[in-house]
Amino acid sequence: MQGRSNSAQQNMLSDLYPLTPQRSCSQTPLLKRTPSRATLSISQSSKKKRRFSIPNFEFEATELRASPASEAAVEETDADRFLAVRGSTTLPLNTTPRTNRVAKSFGLVDDRVLNCGETSATPAQTKVRSILRRCASELFNTPRTTSAISAKSNLAVRKQFIMALDGPGISLNLFASPMAWSHSNCIGVAFKLNVYFQNLDTRVIVRLCGVPAADGMVHSVDWGGTANPHILALGTTCGIVQTWDSLTQMQITDWSDDDSPVGGIHWNGNMLAVGRKDGRVSLFDIRSPRQVERVEGHRRHVIGTKWSPDGRCLATGDQSGSVHVWDMRAGGHVTANDRKVLMKHEGPVKAISWAPWQNGLLATGGLFPDGKIQLWNINKSNSPLTIPTETNVTALHWSPHCKEILSTHGLSWEPWHVIRRAEPPAKQAPRTPFSNSMTVHAYPSCDKIVSVNAHSAPIGHACIGPDGCSIFTVSPVEETIKMFKVWSAPAGKGKDDEGMSYKCAIR
């Protein structure tokens, strides 16, 4: 019965697929295979015979016989990876004259597509497949576009300053804050015993005030923010604190009952925070003739003060590197997870900046021997993000329009100076990518976006404009003040910088 069945199948296959006279298809492996549905349907239905046109195929026993070694190990081939390789199949694909015409029109008639077997691809075919696969992968890749707000589209494109001011006599003290930019677009600068300001809209330069030599040099200045844009506060090295009206050029208040030298100062509405050398922070109200409150917690000179954008918290940094955050409504330190928020640098901290678009995000920068930028979240007690620079970090400013932060830098130092805690040499200091530069970093990746050598000498201080796009930097050694456009404001915001002069003098 087995022999008769095999003979019948052989006769059926010979009727459907006549073989060539030179070759025979009577091998045992072929005859033992089970007929497919296509064969049965063709042999049983006369209607389907008229619809199918199957070409002649030549079968060889050597191609159909599977070796034991090929079943044990899988070998890499050059066949198309999107088609299954069936080298031992006994039947062809169900092709018709119509499918052949369609395949030819699309260029698919070749031995790789219609004959699912392994063929050796030529180098030209391999190259074409690589090109096609690369083109297909590019369709799924979304190209990154640079935002027009980012510093990569502004400062990185034009690295030159757009305004320069002469600044002879600016304090060389690294802890000083001798420059501020008002919301009425006036730049105020302290020159030894005097304070000058220039209206950047009218270009008028005015000497606002001066202090006696007995009161010390003007150490820090700051404008009154959005609440009092025409009021400027100054503090001297002998503890004098005064406020002046730039419109009338008249003195408003004089808080001179404290002889402790002034450090950093910053406005919050009608409240002025003043850091002192003995570690105190004095709080003054412009409506009161005397100090209204004092905050104690530092042990060294408080050289950095900054109110949060909502006016709730005050961050202060001292000469020893300690940073405290005060909750002025609660009358004490800010706490996170029932712990005081205390931050520490290895060097003095003057540069402090709050992010205007995220509550509780604070950036601090350390001077020698620290040289690091740390990004803190005061609402969490986790470790900060750190950007090592090995230079003096003199100022920090967040962009109000995008998640980027700008830092200004001074001298750098050798690693052995940090170990010995020695003073870095002023003339022999080595240069690093951050030396005397103005650098913009991305948040939270901390990647460097652009770095510009703003001055040929160390940058002592910097202030941001009312539009949140431009920065003024000052180099006391170079005696120059420069303005750079770092960011762009979104559509409908910011001021136009066209028409600004490229060179003018403030004195």
- Is residue 55 situated within a structural domain? yes
Residue 415 confidence class, pLDDT cut points 50, 70, 90: low
Q: Is the pLDDT of residue 210 over 50?
A: yes
| Cβ–Cβ < 8 Å for 373, 331 | no
Among 173, 174, 167, 175, smallest CA distance to 194 is for 167
For 419-472, what is each residue's pLDDT tens digit? 344 455 444 557 788 999 999 999 999 999 999 999 999 999 999 999 999 999
Same domain for 330 and 300, yes or no, is: yes
| Cβ–Cβ < 8 Å for 375, 360 | no
**H or E stretch including 488?**
none
- Gyration radius (Cα) of the chain, Å: 39
For 236-286, what is each residue's pLDDT tens digit? 999 999 999 999 999 999 998 899 999 999 999 999 999 999 999 999 999
What are 218's two structure tokens? 């003007």
Whether residue 29 has a cis bond before it, omega within 30° of 0: no
Q: How many CB atoms lie within 10 A of CB 11?
A: 10
Residue 484 confidence class, pLDDT cut points 50, 70, 90: very high
Q: pLDDT at position 170, please?
A: 94
Distance CA 443, CA 386 (A): 11
Q: pLDDT at position 121, please?
A: 57
Same domain for 163 and 42, yes or no, is: no
For 134-153, what is each residue's pLDDT tens digit? 777 777 776 677 889 999 99
| Cβ–Cβ < 8 Å for 261, 217 | no
Torsion of CA 258, 263, 264, 268, to 10 degrees: -10
Between these two residues, 494 and 398, which has the higher pLDDT value?
Answer: 398
- Is residue 146 situated within a structural domain? no
Q: Is the pLDDT of residue 489 over 80?
A: yes
Range with lowest mean pLDDT among 125-129, 258-262, 331-335, 492-496: 492-496
- Is residue 303 situated within a structural domain? yes
Same domain for 180 and 251, yes or no, is: yes
Q: Is the pLDDT of residue 8 over 90?
A: no
Q: Confirm whether pTM is higher than 0.75.
A: no
Same domain for 211 and 321, yes or no, is: yes
Question: Taking residues 176-184, what's their average pLDDT?
Answer: 96
Between these two residues, 121 and 69, which has the higher pLDDT value?
Answer: 121
Q: Is the pLDDT of residue 132 over 90?
A: no
User: 24: which residues sit within 8 A by CB, 6+ positions away?
Assistant: none
For 158-175, what is each residue's pLDDT tens digit? 999 999 999 899 999 999
Q: pLDDT at position 337, please?
A: 61
Report which DSSP code applies to 309.
T
Domain end among 106, 139, 172: 139
Domain end among 108, 139, 170: 139
Question: Taking residues 374-387, what's their average pLDDT?
Answer: 90
Q: pLDDT at position 339, please?
A: 65
Domain end among 117, 139, 161: 139
Distance CA 497, CA 487 (A): 12
Residue 94 confidence class, pLDDT cut points 50, 70, 90: low
User: 483: which residues sit within 8 A by CB, 6+ positions away?
Assistant: 161, 162, 163, 164, 165, 470, 471, 472, 473, 500
Q: pLDDT at position 429, please?
A: 59
Q: Is the pLDDT of residue 232 over 60?
A: yes
Same domain for 131 and 179, yes or no, is: no
Distance, CA of 165 to chain centre = 31
Same domain for 226 and 272, yes or no, is: yes
Q: Is the pLDDT of residue 52 over 60?
A: no
Q: How many CB atoms lie within 10 A of CB 406?
A: 26
3-state secondary structure of 313: strand
Same domain for 135 and 155, yes or no, is: no
Between these two residues, 53 and 138, which has the higher pLDDT value?
Answer: 138
Q: pLDDT at position 220, please?
A: 97
Among 31, 37, 92, smallest CA distance to 65 is for 31
What CATH number is given to the structural domain containing 192?
2.130.10.10
Q: Is the pLDDT of residue 217 over 80?
A: yes
Q: Is the pLDDT of residue 84 over 90?
A: no
- Is residue 324 situated within a structural domain? yes
Residue 349 confidence class, pLDDT cut points 50, 70, 90: very high
Question: Taking residues 106-113, what's their average pLDDT?
Answer: 57
- Is residue 145 situated within a structural domain? no
For 298-343, what is each residue's pLDDT tens digit? 999 999 999 999 999 999 999 999 999 999 877 778 876 666 777 8
Residue 493 confidence class, pLDDT cut points 50, 70, 90: low
- Is residue 121 situated within a structural domain? yes
- Is residue 460 situated within a structural domain? yes
Same domain for 336 and 459, yes or no, is: yes
Distance, CA of 488 to chain centre = 16
pLDDT-above-70 percentage for the chain? 69
Same domain for 248 and 356, yes or no, is: yes
Same domain for 374 and 433, yes or no, is: yes
The total number of structural domains that make up the chain: 2
CA angle 469, 353, 194 (to 5 degrees): 80
User: Packing angle between helix 37-44 and helix 2-16, nearest 10 degrees?
Assistant: 80
- Is residue 144 situated within a structural domain? no
Distances (CA, A) of 121 to 58, 112, 125, 245: 22, 9, 6, 84
Question: Taking residues 360-369, what's their average pLDDT?
Answer: 95
Same domain for 275 and 410, yes or no, is: yes
Residue 27 confidence class, pLDDT cut points 50, 70, 90: very low
Same domain for 97 and 243, yes or no, is: no
Q: pLDDT at position 70, please?
A: 42
Q: Which domain holds residue 466?
A: 151-505
Between these two residues, 412 and 413, which has the higher pLDDT value?
Answer: 412
Distances (CA, A) of 230 to 133, 187, 246, 503: 64, 11, 5, 25
Whether residue 444 has a cis bond before it, omega within 30° of 0: yes
**H or E stretch including 457?**
none
Report which DSSP code applies to 41.
H
Report which DSSP code applies to 77.
-
Report which DSSP code applies to 83.
S
* Mean residue pLDDT across the chain: 79
Q: Is the pLDDT of residue 39 over 50?
A: no
